[in-house]
Each structure stands twice: as C-alpha cells, then as structure tokens.
Structure 1
Amino acid sequence: MPTSRLHRRTAVPASSDELFSWHARPGAFERLSPPWERVRVVERMGTIHDGDTIDLEVRLGPVPLRWRARHEAYREGKQFCDVQDGGPFKLWRHVHSTSPVDGGNSILDDDVTYQLPASPVSDWIAGGFVAAKFDRMFTYRHRTTREDLRIHARYGDRSRLTVAITGSSGLIGRALSSFLSAGGHRLERILREGSDTPSWSIPEVPVDAVVHLAGESVDGRWTDAKRRRIRDSRVEGTKRLVDAILERDERPGCVVCASAIGFYGDRGTDMLGESSDAGTGFLSDVCQDWESETRPLSDAGIRVVQARFGVILSGFGGALPRMLPPFRSGLGGRLGSGAQYVSWVSLDDAVGAIHHALMEDHAGPMNVVAPFAVTNQELTWTLGRILGRPTPFPVPSAVARLAFGEMADAMLLSSTRCVPDRLASSGYDFRYPDLEDCLRFQLGRMPLSEEAR
C-alpha cells in the first residue's frame, strides 16, 4: 500500500541539546498543539523514552476519536519517535530529530510517514485535505518551537526560576504554565480557597516569583452581583494574596499582577502609554484599586509589575472564538461606528511579556498590547478577509447595549488606543506585531508551504 510523507526542517536559535530537552519537558506537547485541532491529553505514561505512551482525544468534526501514541527509537539528545498504537490512521510513524549546526544553533527535523484508513480510495477523496492540514499543523509547531527556544536562549546563562501562579487554569495561565515548564522553569500552582472572596494556599517551597492572574470573567451582563464578583475577585483577591506573601519568611523577588487597559477608560484616539492618567468608569476604578493593593509589596522591597492586558487574541479562548460563528456564517460586522480602537495582543505575546517581566528588572505598570492598535472596523475587515467571508452587517450601538448592557459601553464600544512603551524600551521583541499574521496563525489560515501546494 502506498504511504504519504511530510518532512519539515527548521533552523532553531538554540543548542541541539536544549532543543531536545525542550521536547522532553512537561508543557512541550501543549505548546505544540494548534488551537484549531482541539486535541486533549487523556493520559500520559512517561515522557519520550522507549515504551512511554500518550493517549489523546482528537476530533473529526464533532466526533471524538481516541489516539494512542507509543514512543520508540529513542537516542539521547538526537532522536525520538512516536508510532500509532491505536487511532484514526492505518499507519503513523513520526521521527523527531535534532542536530547541531555552527554557531551553537540546531536543526529541528520532523519526518512523518502515514497512511489513511481505506487507502488508496481515501487518498483520492481526502489526501489533499489531510496533506494541507498537516502542513499547517507543522508550520504552527515549528514556528512555536523556534520562537519559544529563541526567547529561552536569550536567558540561557540565567538560572531557571520557581514561579507560583494563580489562575493557572485560565487562558493566560495555561499557556504561561506550558511555556515556562517546557523552558525548564519550575511551576507551583497557588490554589484558591473559598469562592466569593478567595484566600490563597501558597506552596511552602521557596519561590522566586509570583504571577497573579486570577479574576472573575468580565464577560456577560453586569448585574449588581456580577459587578461585585468582578471587583472582589480582583481587589480583595489581590489584597489577600499580598497579605499571604508578606506573611512568608522567604518572599519572592518579583510579583507580576494582572491588570487591564480598562485602567485608561474610553479615550477616543488618544495614544495611551503607561504614564497616561487613569480614566473613569467602573472598570477604570476596579483597575486602579486592583493595582493599589500591590503597593505593600513594593514598600517591602519586592519588585512588582502591573501587567495591563489588552484584548487577547487566541484560538484557545477569549474574544476570538466568540467572534467566529457569525463571521464564518457571513453575518459578521463592525460594532457601532467601528471607529473605536481595539488594543489587542496575541496570546503568545501576552505570555512572552510576563516572561520578559520575570527575567528583566522592570517595575511598575506595563501595557501588554501589540505595537499597533486597530479600529474595530479594521479588525472586522481583517477577520472577514482571512475567513473569506463578507462583513456586511454592522451591529448598531443600541443593539449592543440591549444585548450586553453596561458591558457594551465599557468594553465593546469604548476606544482605548494603547502603546507598549515599557516593553519596547526594554527590548521586548514581539512575535506578532501584525494583526493579520496573528489571526492567520491562531486560525490555521497561514499560507501552505511549496511542498503542499
């Protein structure tokens, strides 16, 4: 029976040993899984040594399928291989290889041999579709590997950190956890105790840094109860975390506390850097009080960074997946006038900015946004173009207010045009400064390689 093959090689700015070690660490598989594939790890036995296995749930449309991969042909620092023990393919063999090149860099080599079920008939029906799917998947994997290793290599002469995280199950927390773990850092999860006004159970082990990401989602209508949860989870939650940190005999050297660009309020076309004044309104008041609760840490000599996140774009969650159904149906359109600015950032750059804050000496507020904010109209046009759909149906402001109440004015129709002055001045290199590149990468709409065309 004929087999199909995918072969991909990429230069990586890190040593071959570090590239191989990265693949063996916890978090690497999660970093390599594209958001559009919806892969879930069911069970993992071991790592990448001979006989180790991983059980996955993958989806063919709405249908869940199980896939067990078994590792073999392990060669320390050079190669490992996974073969299908059970799953959707008739044959699957994937050889991962790393090799050194001049300058302390390396080559990542993926060589996949596979055979579709019911081949050769299925090759004629679906062979091209599957080849294109794998091409985009491995473009995602190789770009992620290269960029993750590039960032970690920048600090290759530094000791790895022990980092404690709140909100580790959220969108940013999951991505940060896998990024740090695969990079060799040690993670400790700070668990919530109680639901309404949480206290925190901090691990007893010494930690170098704390990243505080927990907070009630701002999505949905803002009833009085919802507003209390939004505020208390941030302001009271941060106060209690600060108290718990200051009670420790061994305190972290750095705390990165989430905040948001809601700090600035609705400011039209004003360019807003970290030194800009606070705005007005519910979100601005919450953000100001939220950040103020970290002041006792600074007073105690701990370096504190307030990460003011913009709209995070990711296929894994947040705003983008909620936008996709109407846009894919050809029913997407601008919100209100469309002239309001959206200060966005890719999930990878949100994670990268936190890592940058941990490794550099910056303290104080930090706008975590891409270099160029776009209007809602520009965002609408760009997403429609990528999906190949028209965007003819604007959502009037009155309809947005009717559907979402106060949240519409505070988040959907307000204009906040932020610039990442602190990140830029401290040498942060954005992975995705361009909106279209970010969206294509998150949605698996990047151009095909020459081999797959």
Structure 2
Amino acid sequence: MAIFTHTSTFTPSQETVKTWLTRPGALTRATPHWSGSVKKEGDPQNLGSQAHLASALPFTSGLLTLPWTAEHVAAGEDTFTDQQAKGPFSSWQHTHDFFETPGRTVMRDTVTYELLPGEKLGTSAQEAEGKAKQQGFKLLGTGRKGAEKIGDTLVNKHLTRVFDARERRIAADLEFQERYAHDPITVVIAGASGMVGQQVSALLTGGGHTVRTLVRRAPQAENEFRWDPAAGEIDTEAFDGAQAVIHLGGASINQRFTEQNKKAILESRIQSTTLLANTLADVARKDGGAGQVPHTFICASAVGFYGADRGTEVLTEDTPAGSGFLAEVCQQWEAATEPAREAGLRTVNIRTGLVQSALGGMLKVQLPLFLTGTGGYVGSGEQMQSWVSLDDIAGIYVHALFTDSLQGPVNAVAPTPVTAKKLAKTVGAALKRPAVLPIPPAAPALLLKKEGVQELALASQNASADKLVKSGYVFFEPALRQALEHELVR
C-alpha cells in the first residue's frame, strides 16, 4: 500500500474552491488533457455516483488509455472522497481536504493506492504494448519487468505531474470564473458532446450556469432535448427561459475529401445552422420582447473562411472571403445565421483556428508520428498557421457569451501565429522528439486526398486576434511552446 500527497494553494475562499470542485464540469476542466479524458462526470456530493474516465498510459500523451471508474464514497463540509470501482490499480482511494488560511485556501489531495499483482500488471502492459504497435509507436519499459519497474519508480512521479497540472488548471479556471462572474443563466448547446463542446459546457457549469443540450437520440437526462437537423425537427421547449444558444456541430473536416464526405461537411453545418437560426427567429417573434427566449446566438465557423492560400497577409474580420471548398463552406455557414441576426439576436460567428489538443483534431492524428520522431511539416513549412489552445477556444465562446459588445465574425486564434515549420518543431520540442524533416504532400494525401492537403496541411492563414483582444479577452495560453507543453507533457 502506497500513499501519495499533494498540496495546492488558491487565492479564492475555501467555499469558492470547494463549490467549484463539486460542480458539474470540474473534473473535465481539472483533468490534464495528456493524462486522459472524462467520459461522464459524477457528483461528489451524491454518494454512490460514478465518474467514468479514460486514463492515459505514461509516455503516450493521451493516445493510449485504460478505462477508469471512480465512485464517490464520502463527503463532508471540508472534504470528499472517491475510490476506484474499476481501473488499473488493485485499489485506489482519493481524498480532497480543504483548509482555509489567511488570504488563501489549501487543498490537500491524499491518494492511497496498491498496484495490481505483478503477473496481472505485466499482462496489462503487454496488451498495451500490442495496442501501441498498432498505433505505430513503441512504449518504453513494457512487459512484466518493465511494468513492475513502472510500478516501483514512476507512479509517484506520474502523479506529481498530474497533480501539478491539476493545480495549474484549477487556479486558471478559478481566475476565469471570477473574471466572468455572472448571475446564473441557461444556455442551449448543440454539439456539446464534441471536444470543444465538452470544454465549453464544463466552463459554463463550473460558473454555476445551466446547460441544456440538443441531442439526435432520445433524451436520457433532464436537460436534453431532441433535434434532427436533416429532418428539420427540433424541440422548441429547449429555448424556454434560456438566454443564449451556442452551436458547435458539424462533421469533422479531418477526413478524406471525397465528394460524399465534402457533402457531409457542408450539409451538416448548413442544415443544422439554418434550423437553429430560423427556429430562434420564430421563437423571438412569438416572444414579442418578453425576454423569455434566447437573445444571443453564437455559432462556430473557421479561419478557412479566408481561403487556403493567403500567404503572410494579415487577415482581419473585414478581409473578404477567399476561394476553395472550405472557404465556401464557411461563407454559407455564416450566412445561415442571418435569420437570427435579422430577428434581433446578437449573433457571433467564431472563426476557429487550428485547435492544438491531445484530445482531438489534427494534432492528435499526427501524435504517433511525433512520438516516434518522424513528425514534421508538410511542403515548404513557410505557410502561416493560426493556432489556438483547446482551453482558449472554450474560453472564447464563454467570453463571447458574456461580452455584449461582441458580434459578427471573430477570429478565435492566439495572438502569436507561427509557420508550419515552427509549429512542427515546437510540437517536437514539447515531446522531446526531433521534428525537422519535411513531409511530402503525398503522405497526408493518403488520409486527406490532394484537395484536403491543399485546404488543410498546406493552407496559409495569418489571422489577426486584434478584435478578440480589444474586446477584453485574456488568453489561457498566448504562447505556443507553453501551450503545447501543457497539452502534451510527458
């Protein structure tokens, strides 16, 4: 039996810190992306409730995971405890204790754990190694002896990294929540199950707000409402008493640019946005200014609006649209929000840059290459890449929600764009792997086809963040190296 402890300090009061940590979304926000992901949150105040996670294996930056179920087993005024119901340890219990001192709150995490017996841990590690080979890279120190060594020497080191990262993330979120303190509101989100949607939802519920989600299946929870964009159907009760709608849905663009896939990329965005905008316009007219329906509509878009080949030209929200498939998608996407704008809703189009995250997007697709030292940049590497961290794209949506002066298109990018070569080298540096060789366009064409490579891997878009910065947004991660180290730390 081993015991690990970690002490964190925060400036808000004990009540503020504990309240945040026991709200929905706290586990999602506190979990470092490289250490795994949250599939379902539990309720620390509801004994017997369970949280379901995918816990990352060391050395894989979140690519290889094991299922983990934690059950909440104890709660008090200044403490709560969960324990492993299913997972990679023989036993695991985690207690959070809170202490208030002058000017700060202290949180002490105590983890009592016992590793699996050697033969079981060795088998588990061998299975993980087999999975790793399928993904195209090799784990270090696997097999029975390697697993035992990891158990003896690396668990505490890994936990130290996890809890250090948790402390940083919790502190950043507490500061964010203080900056956007607001009376509780109700927000309807379409696309809440996606990578960005999960983080936006967690930021909102962490602030004490209510999130309703639009789902395409039969609703299974109180705040779920059904819709079917292809059929033009939506349960309008979702909007009763809500103040805003955020739309994040759309088929992934990280796929082969076949005619069938391109049609899905376009139609999934236009059909859903048109349905939402028209429905919001209708309910606004029926409400007649009574204020019982949403008055803000925030819809995703992308810097692809500007076209794939803009060189080093600085692209502001006033820059005309470019040409190409994704530019046309973004133009139609933004145009589909017009009915809501014409009906008087404050409408914001979030033109997202390249989201850098271990949880999804192109970075996750490329991670196996970088982890094996074969990652790099496509083409000359001189194309401009307008990037943004996952924390910031989520933060930007919340900022847009609570910043009444912000409307129309907004470039959701960090203020420090880089070349593709610089981006690749920084990913390599964060992983302590080389990333100096150019990758022939034919290689990513196997995944994206030639048009996809031109529209994504070879795109040059130097989008300006000035409008966002002038509106008062403060970045979680304004610098690329720090953002990637926080996202990919090993």
Shorter-chain TM band: 0.7 to 0.9
Contact 2:254 2:361 in 1 (8 A): no
**Cα distance, 1:186 vs structure 2:** 0.2
**RMSD between aligned alpha carbons?**
2.6
User: What corresponds to 1:277 in structure 2?
Assistant: 320
Instruction: Give the distance between the partners of 1:424 and 1:134, measured in 2 at CA.
Output: 36
Taking a change above 3 Å as real, the CA distance of residues 237 and 63 of structure 1, as seen in their structure-2 partners, is closer
Instruction: Give the distance between the partners of 2:338 and 2:87, measured in 1 at CA.
Output: 53
TM alignment of 1:300-449, pairs within 5 A: 300-361=343-404, 362-401=406-445, 404-445=449-490
**Cα distance, 1:6 vs structure 2:** 2.3
**TM-score normalised per structure 2:** 0.82
Instruction: Give the distance between the partners of 2:461 and 2:24, measured in 1 at CA.
Output: 37
Instruction: Give per-residue Cα distances to partners, 1:86-132, cap 9 Å, x unaligned.
Output: 654455443313344556x533332334344459x998763331112
Secondary structure of 2:154's counterpart equals: helix
Instruction: Give the distance between the partners of 1:351 and 1:220, measured in 2 at CA.
Output: 23
Taking a change above 3 Å as real, the CA distance of residues 216 and 200 of structure 1, as seen in their structure-2 partners, is farther
Contact 1:41 1:54 in 2 (8 A): no
Which one-letter code corresponds to 1:288 in the other structure? Q
Instruction: Give the distance between the partners of 1:33 and 1:228, measured in 2 at CA.
Output: 36
Instruction: Give per-residue Cα distances to partners, 1:3-54, cap 9 Å, x unaligned.
Output: 3322221224x3321211112112222222233333555784xx22374342
Taking a change above 3 Å as real, the CA distance of residues 254 and 117 of structure 1, as seen in their structure-2 partners, is same
User: What corresponds to 1:75 in structure 2?
Assistant: 76
Q: Structure 2 unaligned segments of length 5 or more: list them.
A: 58-63, 119-144, 217-226
Quick one: percent identity of the two aligned structures? Answer: 36
**Cα distance, 1:320 vs structure 2:** 1.3
**Cα distance, 1:399 vs structure 2:** 4.7
Instruction: Give the distance between the partners of 1:42 and 1:359, measured in 2 at CA.
Output: 27
Instruction: Give the distance between the partners of 1:84 and 1:398, measured in 2 at CA.
Output: 46
Instruction: Give per-residue Cα distances to partners, 1:185-216, cap 9 Å, x unaligned.
Output: 10111234447565433415321000011112
Which one-letter code corresponds to 2:7 in the other structure? R
Instruction: Give the distance between the partners of 2:157 and 2:249, measured in 1 at CA.
Output: 38
What is the total number of aligned residue pairs between the two structures? 436
Instruction: Give the distance between the partners of 1:213 and 1:15, measured in 2 at CA.
Output: 34
User: What corresponds to 2:220 in structure 1?
Assistant: none
Contact 2:188 2:244 in 1 (8 A): yes
Instruction: Give per-residue Cα distances to partners, 1:396-442, cap 9 Å, x unaligned.
Output: 23554565221111111010011211221011110111111111111
Which one-letter code corresponds to 2:50 in the other structure? I
Alignment partner of 1:161 is 2:185: yes
Taking a change above 3 Å as real, the CA distance of residues 26 and 342 of structure 1, as seen in their structure-2 partners, is same
Instruction: Give per-residue Cα distances to partners, 1:212-243, cap 9 Å, x unaligned.
Output: 11112112222222222222222232112111
Instruction: Give the distance between the partners of 1:268 and 1:234, measured in 2 at CA.
Output: 27
User: What corresponds to 1:252 in structure 2?
Assistant: 294
- Out of 405-414 and 27-36, give the one that drifted further: 27-36
User: What corresponds to 1:27 in structure 2?
Assistant: 25
Q: Structure 1 unaligned segments of length 5 or more: list them.
A: 446-453
Instruction: Give the distance between the partners of 1:328 and 1:41, measured in 2 at CA.
Output: 25
Contact 2:229 2:275 in 1 (8 A): no
**Cα distance, 1:391 vs structure 2:** 2.5
User: What corresponds to 1:114 in structure 2?
Assistant: 113
Secondary structure of 2:391's counterpart equals: helix
Secondary structure of 2:439's counterpart equals: coil
* Residue 50 of structure 2, aligned match among 31, 47, 54: 54
Taking a change above 3 Å as real, the CA distance of residues 284 and 132 of structure 1, as seen in their structure-2 partners, is same
User: What corresponds to 2:166 in structure 1?
Assistant: 141
TM alignment of 1:118-137, pairs within 5 A: 126-137=151-162
